[in-house]
Amino acid sequence: MKKKISCSRLFLWIFLILVIGYTAFWIIPNFIVTVQIASRLHVAPSWSAIRHQLANNEFKSGMTRDKVHSLLDQVGVWIIFAADSPDQGIWDSDTQQTVFRETIRFTGNYTYQALGSWIFLYDKNGKLISQGPVDSG
């Protein structure tokens, strides 16, 4: 005698499998990455805390470009997406000086979605003037 599975039970099993799959392949790895980055930056394990720390506390005006890159390495994998040549910068009316821009993009699945791209402004000597997120991640 064959046992008949009702449609509602079948949908319940499918739903549970989807929830477990989503948890196993997105939520848990995302949480692990968040905890790892947060521990390196000494903040609470949340993307908003990480973004706030990066935007307000980590990068200091006057830092060298190498130091900025070193701090970015602590966050995760990133690439320079666009950059001005240091000898062909642009005039920045806010700082009243010639600056060169460097836009970076985090490339890890979770870090890109949470942190997106950031822009850094340097003076002619390669010292950081300002920085911030380009998009909401």
Percent of the chain residues past pLDDT 70, beyond the cut: 79
Partners of 43 in the β-ladder: none
pLDDT at position 22 over 60 = no
Q: What is the mean pLDDT of residues 49-78?
A: 93
**Range ranked top by mean pLDDT from 7-11, 19-23, 98-102:** 98-102
Q: What is the mean pLDDT of residues 24-45?
A: 80
Global pTM?
A: 0.73
Task: Specify the pLDDT at position 19.
Answer: 63
Its sign, for the CA torsion 37, 43, 44, 48, is: negative
Other Cβ atoms less than 10 A from the Cβ of 50: the count is: 22
Domains of the chain, by residue range, sit at: 7-133
Query: What are the distances in angstroms from CA 53 to CA 44, 60, 90?
Result: 10, 12, 28
Are 112 and 105 in contact, with CB atoms under 8 Å apart? yes
